[in-house]
Structure 1
Amino acid sequence: MKRKTIFHVASSVSLAITVFVSGCSSAPSSSPGTGAGSEKQEQGTTKVAGPKSGGTLTYALYQDIVSLDPAFTYDFSTVVNQITEGLLKFDENSKLVPSLAEKWENPDPKTYLYHIRKGVSFSDGTPMTVDDVIFSMERTRDPKTASYLGWMYGNVDKIEKVDDSTVKVTLKEPDSNWRYAMATPAGHVISKAYYEAHASNFGKPDGGVMGTGPFKYVSWQTGSEIVLEKNTNYWDKTGGPYLDKIVYKVIPEAITRVTGLKTGQINMAITLPIDLQEVVEKMDSVKISRSDSFLSDFVAMNTQRKPFDDVKVRQAINFALDKQKIVKEIIKDAGVAGKSVPVPPALWLFEKEKWEAAYNEIPDYSYDMEKAKQLLAESSVPNGFNGKILVDGDSLRMNIALALQAAVKPLGINLEVEKVTGEELNTRSWGGARDYDMLIQNWNSDFPDPSGSLQPLFLSANAADGGSNFANYKNPEVDKLLIEQGRLTDDTKRSEMMIQAEKLIAGDAPWIVVSHQKHFMITSKNVAGYEISPMVFWQAIMKDVYFTE
């Protein structure tokens, strides 16, 4: 799950100028190079400057990374994706394309063949081999590694070396989502020799990591900064890397990140609070890029706990909350209101017409207090009840909690807002005990596929410890549909089954889907080479980034 952290900041930008972290670079640290990236290109009679080589770019992180090891970069992989690469990757349209595998085949529903690209070297110049590929995959797959992405290998029967350029993966049963795994850090390749020489501190500041990506690891001062340099041995000679160096500054304070963008001490940032996006949009020193996302902000109701086990109670609460008002007053143009399932239009990447038609048919639970009162009157608790909403200090989630608390008050429902730390919210969200009445969280699909939301969130097996079925939702018919579509590779048939499932889920109303936020990227005006896309979390976005002056 990818979570977009949002910080509440009410101060003006000017208040933070004196507290910005010193030492950030706002412009290229060296003159443009003379490589292919800096050549002039003819366009009619006018010479147009191409991308320039050189410079140090400063990127603001809202929190420190967990590890440099790709096996442990599930929730926050922005840095590591520049150092290590997968067999496949997602392009700007969220489509699978070759990477370290120059091509792949799926000769039958349970077999995948990956033809490894020749001439690829690690950043130290040593050749990448099939043995490195298999070692990396088996290490992530091994339960002893306890990789955050190990679950993606749950349906893998065996991984074999066919020859010096081919890897064969055999699945236990057909799996519609396996095709995506090799484009995530689950498919990233590390140097076997380097790992074996640094096994005790691999992925840590003093051990680092050795990959094939466009940049190489230099240093990591935990809580402060990570430094990467251009990989001069990078195999892909088309385009970048153009930058000499990237400095990732860890700056939790949102107002400080905004100040850095304003002064030019920060060149790039992706996550910013909603309440500061309007401030940034008025700044002359930056460029803004937005894209649709697979993200859903939601309220989950514990369907196995009274009175939330009553569908009429859940539907009444859905009708009582004015989601459009929340979007209009808080989220504004940074997102759109949700309906009743976390499958936004951005996820309709195949069979679009069918998904759109289904979306128009499912209930949206738009604000209707009279309908809410009628449903509660017909429920097991016609006079209302007391309950709790679990939420952390995130500004949007807290605003949703307060809005919901006020919205259901006329129904006789008294909700206490239980504010906890982000760490506790995540611990209780993923805990099998499901010790809450309601909770407010967000979810971003790992894959460009509706099943990346439906299966992990509503399959009953995922209500267990470590699972993401936050509503503790259990519907045997939904289970059957989601499991069966996962065994198919025909996206037409899969869509039909998933649409049936989403209609059942929508009727059962285990969630209030409040909104679908957009991804938001800010860069200095002299930075170019990348436009944000829905799969930003899995992409080596810095490869083609460059300074224009």
Structure 2
Amino acid sequence: MDSRINLHDVTLDGSDTITIGMGTDRIITLDPGNYRDRDTETVIRNIFDALFTRTWDGEVVLEIAESWETPDPQTYVVKIRDGVKFHNGQILTVDDVVFTFERVLAENGIGGMTSPRKGLLGPLTSVEKVDEKTVKFNLETPFPVFLQALCHFQIVPKAYIEEVGDEGFAAKPIGTGPYKLVEAKLDEQVVLERFDDYYGGSPDIPPIGPASIKRAIFRMMPDPATRVASLKAGEIQIADKLPPDMAKSLQGDAAIQVKSVPGTRVYAIELCLTKPPFDDVRVRKALNYAIDWDAILNSIYEGHGERLATAFLPSGFGFNPDLKPYEYNPEKAVELLREAGIQAELTK
């Protein structure tokens, strides 16, 4: 299940505050250029917006960007919206966009360290201001998923960061997202308040305009049993990342809605292909035939998972629906291992 929670389109009956029980003991930072962590992303994406974002089924749509074009496979030209405000009232400009990406690309560019998000930009070499509305991205080689990559880079305020520094920005960040920071203790809770001058977000993801809920509290609650107990007691309104058995136990509670959505992570076993025995393709195939993946999904994950035949998500770029996962066939696994010169037999 996807751990990101976007509160812009959430509504509550009878309350203007929502509390989310996070399945972690802390988030890493509130600087969108300095993390690679899904729980951190959950909070950051409610404070900051990017040029582009994605719908729940993976479609890339405009957010701060107004339009885009690619005159050649190594160049992307993006125009930004007018009137997008940061939480301090300053208007977002192309200079902020250029600064955001140069900060990530630069060696030792954030507090003397290189951004852990730099690799997500692939072959991006430079970012240029074309005019007051337009920015150009220059790539060393074609990168078909570049727009998807841009969804992961929230725009930060150049002037404010130059004034307070990277450390000051991480302590008191301002973005253009639907919520602004009130207070933060990263190992306890982060409190956000609705930004009433919010430009509205993506035109393709309703509702357009400020968030419905006035106040949001992200509370660090690493123990799933504690999250469940707090949910039942009404102390929190959302408990994320519950183990499948706990989520199943809540389905009979009329006061609680249990929701499951497709995740954005692919889990796989990585093998060394240059050393025996996995340098032999027959051994690798045998491993696929030998494991009953459906049994694992049904017994451990209560069916909350999907087998894949590739490293690509069904909602992602490059997914081929014609490829099918290996069937469970231990007899075939033994046959392949023997062909590879490995003694093998079935056991019960």
Offset of residue 66 of structure 1: 0.8
Equivalent residue, structure 1, for 2:195 = 231
Question: Quick one: percent identity of the two aligned structures?
Answer: 29
Equivalent residue, structure 2, for 1:60 = 21
Query: Are the structure 2 counterparts of residues 327 and 82 from structure 1 closer, same or farther at C-alpha, using a change threshold of 3 Å?
Result: same
C-alpha distance in 2 between matches for 1:298 and 1:139: 32
The within-5 A match list for 1:422-433 is none
C-alpha distance in 2 between matches for 1:367 and 1:99: 44
1:183 to 2:125 alignment: no
Query: Are the structure 2 counterparts of residues 325 and 259 from structure 1 closer, same or farther at C-alpha, using a change threshold of 3 Å?
Result: same
Equivalent residue, structure 2, for 1:170 = 138
Give me the TM-score of the superposition, normalised by structure 2.
0.85
Secondary structure of residue in 1 paired with 2:331: helix
Equivalent residue, structure 2, for 1:25 = none
1:117-175, CA deviations, whole angstroms, 9 ceiling, x for partnerless residues?
Answer: 11111101122222111111110111223112111334123211111111111222221
Larger Rg: 1
> Aligned to 2:334, which of 353, 364, 373?
373
Number of equivalences: 329
The answer as to whether partners of 1:143 and 1:150 remain within 8 angstroms in 2 is no
C-alpha distance in 1 between matches for 2:83 and 2:333: 64
Letter in 2 for 1:163: D
Equivalent residue, structure 1, for 2:46 = 82
1:193 to 2:159 alignment: yes
Letter in 1 for 2:127: I
C-alpha distance in 2 between matches for 1:199 and 1:97: 32
The answer as to whether partners of 2:155 and 2:175 remain within 8 angstroms in 1 is yes
Secondary structure of residue in 2 paired with 1:375: helix
The answer as to whether partners of 1:83 and 1:212 remain within 8 angstroms in 2 is yes
Letter in 2 for 1:84: F
The within-5 A match list for 1:277-356 is 277-336=247-306, 338-347=307-316, 355-356=320-321
Equivalent residue, structure 1, for 2:57 = 93
Query: Are the structure 2 counterparts of residues 298 and 275 from structure 1 closer, same or farther at C-alpha, using a change threshold of 3 Å?
Result: farther
Secondary structure of residue in 2 paired with 1:301: coil
1:200-248, CA deviations, whole angstroms, 9 ceiling, x for partnerless residues?
Answer: 52454xx221111110112111311111111122122834312221111
Letter in 2 for 1:253: D
The answer as to whether partners of 2:195 and 2:210 remain within 8 angstroms in 1 is no
1:160 to 2:128 alignment: yes
Offset of residue 265 of structure 1: 1.0
> Aligned to 2:77, which of 94, 113, 135?
113
Query: Are the structure 2 counterparts of residues 93 and 169 from structure 1 closer, same or farther at C-alpha, using a change threshold of 3 Å?
Result: same
Equivalent residue, structure 2, for 1:214 = 178
Secondary structure of residue in 2 paired with 1:295: coil
1:360-413, CA deviations, whole angstroms, 9 ceiling, x for partnerless residues?
Answer: 4xxx332222222222222233269xxxxxxxxxxxxxxxxxxxxxxx8x39xx
The answer as to whether partners of 2:272 and 2:279 remain within 8 angstroms in 1 is yes
Structure 1 outlier segments of 4+, above 4 Å = 50-54
Secondary structure of residue in 1 paired with 2:303: helix
More off after superposition, 243-252 vs 265-274:
265-274
Equivalent residue, structure 2, for 1:150 = 118
Letter in 2 for 1:175: F
Structure with more of its chain in strand, by fraction: 1
More off after superposition, 234-243 vs 320-329:
234-243
C-alpha distance in 1 between matches for 2:297 and 2:56: 27
The answer as to whether partners of 2:123 and 2:143 remain within 8 angstroms in 1 is yes
C-alpha distance in 1 between matches for 2:127 and 2:21: 38
1:85-126, CA deviations, whole angstroms, 9 ceiling, x for partnerless residues?
Answer: 111111233222221111112122222111111111110112
1:241 to 2:211 alignment: yes
The answer as to whether partners of 1:60 and 1:266 remain within 8 angstroms in 2 is yes
Give me the TM-score of the superposition, normalised by structure 1.
0.56
The answer as to whether partners of 1:111 and 1:170 remain within 8 angstroms in 2 is yes
Offset of residue 196 of structure 1: 1.6
Secondary structure of residue in 2 paired with 1:275: helix
More off after superposition, 56-65 vs 192-201:
192-201
C-alpha distance in 1 between matches for 2:15 and 2:132: 36
Unaligned runs of 5+ in 1: 5-36, 38-49, 385-407, 412-549
More off after superposition, 338-347 vs 80-89:
338-347
C-alpha distance in 1 between matches for 2:85 and 2:166: 24
The answer as to whether partners of 1:293 and 1:346 remain within 8 angstroms in 2 is no
Equivalent residue, structure 2, for 1:72 = 34
Offset of residue 53 of structure 1: 9.6
C-alpha distance in 2 between matches for 1:127 and 1:52: 33
The answer as to whether partners of 1:61 and 1:248 remain within 8 angstroms in 2 is yes
C-alpha distance in 2 between matches for 1:192 and 1:298: 39
Query: Are the structure 2 counterparts of residues 177 and 213 from structure 1 closer, same or farther at C-alpha, using a change threshold of 3 Å?
Result: same
Equivalent residue, structure 1, for 2:205 = none
Structure with more of its chain in helix, by fraction: 1
1:266 to 2:236 alignment: yes
The answer as to whether partners of 1:123 and 1:212 remain within 8 angstroms in 2 is yes
Unaligned runs of 5+ in 2: 4-8, 202-207
C-alpha distance in 1 between matches for 2:19 and 2:107: 37
Secondary structure of residue in 2 paired with 1:210: coil
Offset of residue 339 of structure 1: 4.9
